[in-house]
């Protein structure tokens, strides 16, 4: 967050689900992360008597309008009402509907900017969370909160239904390529499809949950150890399980194959499936390292996807500080 005169900025991360999507509905842990793309907002105090406004995608909204974004803006503002209005401009650089937490990132960025413009230079992060969740409820009813938590944290999180999120703090950065396979089916449809499998084939469903649980635990250990090759193998295993319960598509499988043929350590869908986004692992490197082999591979994978007609970009997930970290690229990368 930065402040210039009466103008204050807020930023937030987009998110990816690294491991455990869908299984988290059934109390299996999952691993998510905030990425270095997301959303940005700028808030300026309104003149006396002026109404608050939100400028997004070239359109200016006021809180008393009836669109979803106007109602979300109103909900965000009323968490801690102020006698002064604010003018907010907001934008995102992750696609909406791609399973990358676009709406949550916008909510957090707007909340941070509004907090700073209204109450001072440093935003109250507890109130930022409350405002951002109020924003998200307009779009998603009763969200799990994992998108908002990742948008705020910008790093790795372990999520378990009923227990909430807790940070994971590997002293390494992870480089991914993120690509968009095409429009996804609704999350509700995909969740209902998994529920039907549970009812019709409980043995298969139990094996799916057991497999995902083991993958998530081993992925947590691989992150702690900085073992990129193991992390990639676990991504491939998770993708096989997701495909086995009919969450993958021809486009997703094509993207995974392109990524692996380009050198990715692993690749999988991220989010609800049935379309949406795919992630591929470029590798792991010491925190903050520039021009690592992991970054270069993530860039090549994103370029290969783009050449095949899929929108894509490389991104970094930031780990915790550790000045003693050493390079942990996989051999040959």
- Annotated catalytic residues are 147
Beta-strand runs (E) in 142-246? 156-160, 164-167, 172-180
CA angle (201 as vertex; 200, 207 as ends), nearest 5: 150
**What is the distance between the alpha carbons of residues 113 and 217, in angstroms, rounded to a whole number?**
37
The CA–CA distances, whole Å, from 249 to 95, 135, 184, 237, 277 equal: 19, 31, 10, 16, 11
Indicate the length of the chain as a whole number: 333
Burial of residue 301 (CB within 10 Å: 0-12, 13-18, 19+) is: buried
Neighbour count for residue 155 (Cβ, 10 Å): 21
Q: Containing H/E element for 254? A: helix 250-262
Q: How far is CA 156 from CA 1, 14, 20, 165, 277, in A?
A: 21, 12, 13, 10, 18
CA-based torsion, 332, 316, 216, 185: positive or negative: negative
């Amino acid at each position: 967050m930065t402040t210039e005169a009466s103008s204050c900025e807020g930023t937030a991360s987009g998110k990816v689900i690294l491991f455990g999507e869908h299984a988290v509905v059934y109390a299996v842990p999952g691993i998510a992360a905030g990425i270095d793309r997301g959303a940005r907002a700028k808030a300026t105090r309104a003149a006396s008597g002026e109404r608050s406004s939100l400028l997004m995608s070239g359109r200016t909204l006021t809180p008393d309008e009836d669109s979803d974004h106007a109602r979300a803006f109103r909900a965000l503002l009323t968490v801690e009402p102020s006698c002064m209005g604010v003018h907010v401009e907001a934008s995102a650089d992750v696609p909406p509907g791609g399973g990358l937490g676009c709406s949550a990132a916008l909510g957090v960025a707007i909340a941070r900017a509004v907090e700073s413009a209204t109450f001072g230079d440093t935003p109250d992060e507890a109130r930022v969370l409350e405002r951002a969740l109020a924003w998200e409820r307009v779009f998603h009813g009763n969200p799990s909160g994992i998108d908002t938590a990742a948008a705020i944290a910008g790093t790795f999180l372990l999520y378990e239904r009923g227990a909430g999120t807790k940070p994971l703090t590997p002293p390494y950065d992870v480089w991914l390529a993120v690509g968009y396979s095409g429009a996804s089916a609704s999350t509700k449809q995909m969740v209902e499809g998994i529920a039907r499998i549970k009812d019709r084939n409980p043995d298969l469903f139990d094996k799916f949950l057991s497999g995902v649980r083991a993958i998530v635990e081993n992925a947590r250990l691989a992150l702690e150890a900085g073992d990129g090759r193991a992390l990639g193998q676990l991504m491939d295993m998770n993708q096989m399980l997701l495909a086995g319960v009919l969450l993958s598509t021809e486009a997703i499988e094509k993207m995974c194959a392109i990524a692996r043929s380009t050198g990715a350590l692993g690749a999988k869908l991220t989010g609800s499936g049935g379309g949406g986004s795919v992630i591929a692992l470029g590798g792991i490197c010491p925190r903050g390292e520039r021009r690592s082999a992991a970054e270069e591979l993530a860039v090549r994978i994103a370029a290969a996807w783009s050449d095949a007609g899929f929108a894509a970009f490389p991104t970094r997930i930031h780990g915790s500080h550790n000045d003693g970290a050493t390079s942990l690229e996989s051999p040959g990368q």
